[in-house]
Structure 1
Amino acid sequence: MTDHVEAQTSAGRVRGRWRPTTGPAGEGRMPRSAAFLGIPFAEAPVGPLRFQAPVPKAPWEGVRDALEFGATAQRGDPGVTLIPEPSVEGESTLNVNVFTPDPQATGLPVLVWIHGGGYFAGSPASPWYDGRNFTRDGVVTVSISYRLGFDGFGWIEDAPSNRGVRDWLLALEWVQENIAAFGGDPARVTIAGQSAGGGAVLTLLGMEKAQHLFQGVYAISGALADVPALRSEAFGRALAIAGGVEPTVAGFSSLDEDRVLALQKRATELGPRSLNAIIDEGLPLGPAVDGDLIMRPTRESLRAGVGADKHLVLGATDDEFTMAMTGGAAKALRWVPRALLLNKLGVPRSVRREYLAANADVVALGTARLAGRVLTDRMFRTAVADIASDRGAAPTWVYRFSWPSGHFGFAEHCLDVPFFFDCLDGPAMEPLAGPHPPQELADALHAAAVSFIVGGDPGWPVHRGDAGTVRVWDTPVRDEADGYASVSALRNIDS
């Protein structure tokens, strides 16, 4: 039997490769899957297309090899990251990777994954995003690329706004048009992502123009941007001044990619006061409320009922950013008075007593752990509770990932991703999860994700407004009646 397999897309024929799946065999589980890598859904965003809306890929003749990951918008060595997300050189950065149990199948559910990276980094070419164990369980899996940083999200006077968002939309349109050729059902699409990718799928959930492209949403540690239009414009004008050009397509096109990346890096470097600015104001680059694609901040859209017919799973890890307070930072924080720390992190006196009482277990672990929990709560966990409340009676399921990493000793940012994908046998696992992450927890979490993608229900009670059951992913797995009660005090200041 040949290792190669072909499929017909709207732009032309592609050649992929059969590969084995992993994990225990079982009823309905597939022993192999087909991978089609680097299929372009748009023309390369270079030259006159660089700062424009994505243009669908023109047809090609013959059979196009889809055997290697396509070029990524992330450039160069990303350095040490929690998730291995390699960069791939090249110009054709708008592509999709499709993993399918069988291209000849029909009506299979579909998972579309949007990677994270703060809207300026990340790559769909991660071995962790390999869909082999979703395909093992009968789910067609697609990972997509999109323009990052200023090229994807920066304001330019005469350019389309939110170019990275437009990339998401065109990739999802590609899925609607082509996924049946890979065995998938365009009427059974779930979009999912983590961190900025989690924010991406929540942004899409709140967009009227995206509603026809998916039926379910799974948001892992979602980081919403919702950059105000004036802030986005101010950032773009400042970057143009720094580059010595006009804030126009012609002006920015006169700067090569490396120059724009250098200017962007300098403009977004974290300084002594920038952490508070990010907590209070959000990220400077990311989906902007442009009045065109994104009509209003996402939470306002959800409260108005946009996406209320879509099923949503969302949650966060217990200590997303506590790792930023380890090592030298932890030693320095030992001498910082608690009141000063809470003041610096934007926790007003009026809620401190309530917040500290609700987090007494973390307070007992010292100043650094408390600082990490406050950062986590203000940037991630309050948003989970708020969005669940915004959705009201819309079908919503809420979770916490609480299993403590065998490396860090707490549930840090990104830790739940390999459990979601059931890829604990993947590379670079020990620095994140420690030497022996529990496979039984991956089995349970991944099975719940499959259940949601296949049938629209992850398997624990639905959450209603401000109250409801929260699934706690730990060993053992448990459910709590109000799993986000510890952030209630902060919701009063962050709403």
Structure 2
Amino acid sequence: MSAPQSTPSPAAPGPEVRTAAGVLRGSREAGVAVFRGVPYAEPPVGALRFAAPRPVRPWEGVRPALSYGPPPPQSGLLGAAPQGPDATGGDWLTLNVWTPDPAAALPVLVWIPGGGYVIGHAGRPEYDGALLAGAGTVVVTLNYRLGVEGFAHLDGAPANRGLLDQVAALEWVRDNVRAFGGDPDRVTLFGQSAGAGSVAALTAVPRAAGLFRRAVAQSVPGTFFTPGLAADVAAACAAELGLRPTAADLSRVPPSGLPAAGDAVAAKMAQWEDRWGPVTHRPIPFAPVVDGDVLPATPWQALADGAGRDVDLLVGHTRDEHRLFTLIDGLLGQVTEERAETALRLLAPGPDGARRYRASFPTAGPEELYELVNADWLFRMPSLHLARAQAAGGGRVHAYELTWTAPGMGGALGACHGLDVPLVFGNLHSGEPALLIGPDPSPEAEALSARMRAAWTAFAAHGDPGWPAYDEPRRRVMLLDADPEVAAYPEEASRLLWQDHAFAALPLVGG
């Protein structure tokens, strides 16, 4: 069954737990205890603006934990509703906990929301953790700084502040999750899209070492920036405000005013194609920065070098990763030969990548070629290569591809980006991703969701989702469909095209 829309019961006093900072009172919903809007760090405003997160200060008495914390300032380009976060006091660094038994010692699932590193909020209904928690896990979802606040590369500020927020949340889990019935030695990160990019990045962040035992990366984006590219993008964002790309200058701008600058740059990124390269095609103005300190190497390099030997990894992607974006961009059924050629020129690997794509997919028309190269560059091949890197570095990894066609819109979106989110959480009736499932989830959808929840929670419990580990040369993956099966990785033509590509940090391509 899908999770009901949960509301706290006012009739009975809520459960209470004591954390390191003070006592929290939550609610009991759908058979689990829920604590919302729990601060894990001080608000990053005022003197803490653009700084690394600081531990939350203790409070006296009992703090209600009944409402989600406010969303961090975020883009309006991808459909996020603009909000006025300045009135909240900047209290964005909060998390939420669902637990079936605060007296137990259960595996812990920590969710990092996606959204292109520019949108995201742990309070979205599709991230309700009740069903996953009901399966015998403690579920944590968290907010982190986005866009300019979290990822712009600024003079006078640490790099990757959004990643540092995630590390601070994991430290909070380590120090407090026992009080919620969680086992701090069995923490599993999971995330989708930019959340999966964050999960992958944290495998390479030295400050995150030892804070999680397992990781699930769903549709890993291949975009990580060099400091040069990141600084150039930050300078363009600051120029929109007539400022320099420094923490001192941008601190004069209210937090709610910064997303518009990032949006303005994103809207005209094509003008920087000769300087910023392929990220102008999507467009992607922010990503984790391989700065040599917070993030010393890309996840692919770090895992190949053995950083994940003590971390079990589950990684995969959907079959039709780019179809949803084609729809959002108004291009479904409208991709021209010229547009396809531009995508192939910018994204296909190697100097003759466009020709090789056409040779590998001889019957593909412009739209299929456009979607293939976009999906491969942004999500499918980065995910596959992460599995390869983990295996090469001596770590354990399981892989999957979601091949089930979403019934929404008459199946026109296939197995698209984001389809895995409602299936993993089991929230088939709530949130925007549930629109992919349709208004009345079929028994087939319910059954696949149940299988995926069982696989994810089993992986969190003991590192085995229920199918063989990935290795070379067999490349066995689970194909998640109405009738799931283990098979050789099915995207062979794309795999061969990208087999020698290194997902290095993206540089400035011109001066």
Q: TM-score scaled to structure 2, two decimals?
A: 0.86
Match of 2:229 in 1: 231
**CA distance in 1 between partners of 2:446 and 2:285 (Å):** 38
User: Could you say which residue in structure 2 is the equivalent of 1:164?
Assistant: 162
Structure 1 residues 224, 203: closer, same or farther in 2, change over 3 A?
farther
- The more displaced of 112-121 and 286-295 is 286-295
* 1:116 counterpart letter in structure 2: G
1:204-353 equivalences under 5 Å are 204-269=202-267, 271-272=269-270, 277-278=278-279, 283-326=284-327, 328-333=330-335, 336=338, 342-343=344-345, 345-346=347-348, 350=352
Per the alignment, residue 113 of structure 2 pairs with: 115
SS in 2 for 1:268: helix
Matched, 1:45 2:44: yes
Residue 358 and residue 238 in structure 1: after superposition, are their counterparts in 2 closer, same or farther (change >3 A)?
closer
Alpha-carbon distance, 1:298 to partner: 2.0
- How big is each residue's C-alpha offset from its partner over 1:296-348, in whole Å with a ceiling of 9 and x where there is no partner? 22211111111222100001111111233348524432565976764465366
Report deviation, 1:243: 2.3
| Structure 2 runs not aligned, ≥5 long | 1-10, 503-511
Question: Structure 1's 481 and 38: CA in aligned 2 closer, same or farther, altered over 3 A?
Answer: same
Does residue 454 (structure 1) correspond to residue 461 (structure 2)? The answer is yes
Determine the C-alpha separation between the residues in 2 that align with 1:206 and 1:198: 13
In 2, are the aligned partners of 1:140 and 1:184 still within 8 Å (CA)? yes
Once residues 244 and 354 of structure 2 are traced to their aligned partners in structure 1, the CA distance between those partners, rounded to angstroms, is 47
Matched, 1:423 2:427: yes
Give how far 1:208 is off.
2.5
1:384–1:282 distance in 2 versus 1, CA, 3 Å: farther
Change (3 A) 1:371 1:75: closer
Q: What is the letter of the counterpart of residue 414 of structure 1?
A: G
Q: Which amino acid aligns with 1:217?
A: A
Aligned match of 1:396 = 397
Q: Secondary structure at the match of 2:207?
A: helix
Cα deviation for residue 254 of structure 1 reads 1.5
Matched, 1:152 2:159: no
Query: Contact 1:13–1:63 at 8 Å: present in 2 too?
Result: yes
Amino acid corresponding to residue 190 of structure 2 in structure 1 = A
The counterpart of 1:8, out of the listed 18, 22, 25, is: 18
Asked if structure 1 preserves the Cα contact closer than 8 Å seen for 2:238 and 2:244, the reply is yes
Q: Is the 8 A contact 1:400 1:473 kept in 2?
A: yes
Q: Per the alignment, do residues 223 and 347 of structure 1 end up closer, same or farther by CA in structure 2, a change over 3 Å counting?
A: closer
Q: Secondary structure at the match of 2:306?
A: coil
Matched residue type, 1:46: V
CA distance in 1: counterparts of 2:82 and 2:103, whole angstroms:
30
Name the CA distance, whole Å, in 2 between partners of 1:293 and 1:322.
Answer: 34
CA offsets per residue over residues 212-256 of structure 1, 9 Å max, x none?
100000000112442101122222333333322343322111222
In the alignment, is the contact (CA less than 8 A) between 2:222 and 2:378 conserved in 1? Answer: no
Amino acid at match of 1:415: L
Q: 1:359 to 1:103 in 2, by over 3 A?
A: farther
Larger displacement relative to structure 2 (444-453 or 485-494): 485-494
Structure 2 distance, partners of 1:395, 1:345, is 30
Q: Which of 137, 140, 143 pairs up with 2:141?
A: 143
Cα drift, residue 480 of structure 1:
1.1
| In structure 2, distance between residues paired with 1:381 and 1:228 | 22
Q: State the alpha-carbon separation in 2 of the partners of residues 286 and 370 from structure 1.
A: 26
Does residue 185 (structure 1) correspond to residue 192 (structure 2)? The answer is no
Q: Which residue of 2 aligns with 1:474?
A: 481
In structure 2, what is the equivalent of residue 433 of structure 1? 437
CA–CA separation in structure 2 for the residues paired with 1:334 and 1:297:
34
Question: Percent of counterpart pairs with the same letter?
Answer: 34
CA distance in 2, matches of 1:293, 1:471: 33
Report the number of matched residues: 478
TM-score by length of 1: 0.89
Query: Is 272-281 or 38-47 further displaced after alignment?
Result: 272-281
**Could you say what secondary structure the match of 2:69 adopts?**
coil
Q: Are 2:411 and 1:411 equivalent residues in the alignment?
A: no
The CA deviation at 1:14 is 0.3
**Partner SS state of residue 476, structure 1:** coil
Q: Could you tell me which residue of structure 2 aligns to residue 27 of structure 1? A: none
DSSP-derived class of the 2:29 partner: strand
What's the C-alpha RMSD, in Å, of the aligned pairs? 2.8
1:93 aligns with 2:57: no
The whole-number CA distance in structure 2 between the counterparts of 1:209 and 1:155 is 19
1:429 Cα deviation after fit: 5.1
CA gap of 1:328–1:147, structure 2 versus 1, over 3 A, is closer
Are the aligned partners of 1:175 and 1:186 in contact in 2 as well (CA < 8 Å)? yes
SS at match of 2:107: strand
> C-alpha distance in 2, partners of 1:339/1:231?
25
DSSP 3-state at the match of 1:333: coil
- 440, 452, 465: which one aligns with 1:445: 452
Greater mean alpha carbon deviation, residues 276-285 or residues 131-140: 276-285
- Structure 1 residue matching 2:216: 3-state secondary structure: strand
Deviation, structure 1 residue 193? 0.3
Equivalent pair of 2:73/2:259 in contact (CA under 8 Å): no
Cα distance change of structure 1 residues 281 and 422 upon mapping to structure 2, 3 Å threshold: closer
Structure 1 residues 293 and 240: alpha-carbon distance in aligned structure 2, compared to 1, 3 A threshold: same
Give the C-alpha shift of residue 71 in structure 1. Answer: 1.4
Residues 433-484 of structure 1 show CA distances to partners (whole Å, capped at 9, x for unaligned) of 2343511111111111111011110010101145421101111111112334
In 1, Cα distance between equivalents of 2:76 and 2:347: 32
Higher relative contact order (CA closer than 8 Å, sequence separation 6+):
2
Aligned to 2:494, which of 483, 487, 493?
Answer: 487
Q: 1:252 to 1:412 in 2, by over 3 A?
A: same
CA distance in 2: counterparts of 1:51 and 1:203, whole angstroms: 20
